[in-house]
Structure 1
Amino acid sequence: MKPIALGLLLTLSLTTQAVAKEKTNISAGLAVDQQLSAVLEVDDQYRFTLGNGGTAFDYLFQHGTFDNPDIPVDWYVGAGGWAEWDDDYGVRLPIGLDWAINKQISAYGQVHPEVNFHGGPELQLGGALGVTYSF
């Protein structure tokens, strides 16, 4: 699937999900994921990234906290897909930490093992760092 078509498909699914719910928690920010990227996050569960190098979409299906309430860091695991503008594309498994800096600003860091399907399956390891502001 071409990266532009994948990006449009992901945007449509994200928009549909946001409209279907009555009240959504929307965050926007910047990240280093697909090179320098803009990030849109809905309900702390759907993360769409559009950057200089390509696009990515992650569904964060598992969230957790650490036992110490003084640590404002949560963890998450997700599943997603990515496509680069040079026709590389694949799936990934983001595993990360989310730090609530204050009520509206949070930072995250993740590693994501990924499989690149362009030219045959190839296992890779990627990562991302980002900051988002909740509206």
Structure 2
Amino acid sequence: MIKKLNIIIIAMVTTLFSLSASADNNVDIKAGFAADMGFGVSALINNKFSVMLGNDGVAADYIFKRGKFNAEVPFTWYIGAGAYNEWDKGFGVRVPLGLNLHFSQNWNAYAQVAPDLDFDDNAHFGAQLGAGLRYSF
């Protein structure tokens, strides 16, 4: 049952990303390396869909709110909602809360904390930390 649900979640996320990419010829893709689900690759598509594929699992998030602090603070913030699958421990849902630092025209760094609800054997709350560096194509 859990394996089937994981396959369904991954298929749904893949479909959403492909539909988003095909609907707009001007797709903004930022890709790089991150530590979130272990160490791996990270991508942000159209500043809305975030994907992390790491050696400990995979995560996909939809960023639904972004904002700025003020003109003097170089960081922006974001809030999202998503799901993850750990390769050997199960799956869950999460709410990433993060900061972006745009330090060059094409480069940005981010850090986030993602409170989560894990559904492996028993449902329990936790938190995931993530940080990464992305280049905009």
Shift of 1:24: 1.4
Aligned counterpart, 1:124? 126
Deviation beyond 6 Å, 4+ runs, structure 1: none
| TM-score for both structures, normalised by structure 1 | 0.92
* RMSD value, Cα: 1.4
User: Which is worse superposed, 2-11 or 47-56?
Assistant: 2-11
- Extract unaligned runs of 5+ from structure 1: none
- Extract unaligned runs of 5+ from structure 2: none
Separation in structure 2 between the aligned mates of residue 4 and residue 51 of structure 1, nearest angstrom = 17
Aligned counterpart, 1:52? 55
Aligned counterpart, 2:34? 31
Q: Deviations over 1:52-94 (max 9, x none)?
A: 0010001010000012x23221000000000011141000000
Q: Deviations over 1:33-66 (max 9, x none)?
A: 1100101110111001111001000101000001
Aligned counterpart, 2:117? 115
**Mapped contact 1:6–1:83 kept (Cα < 8 A):** no
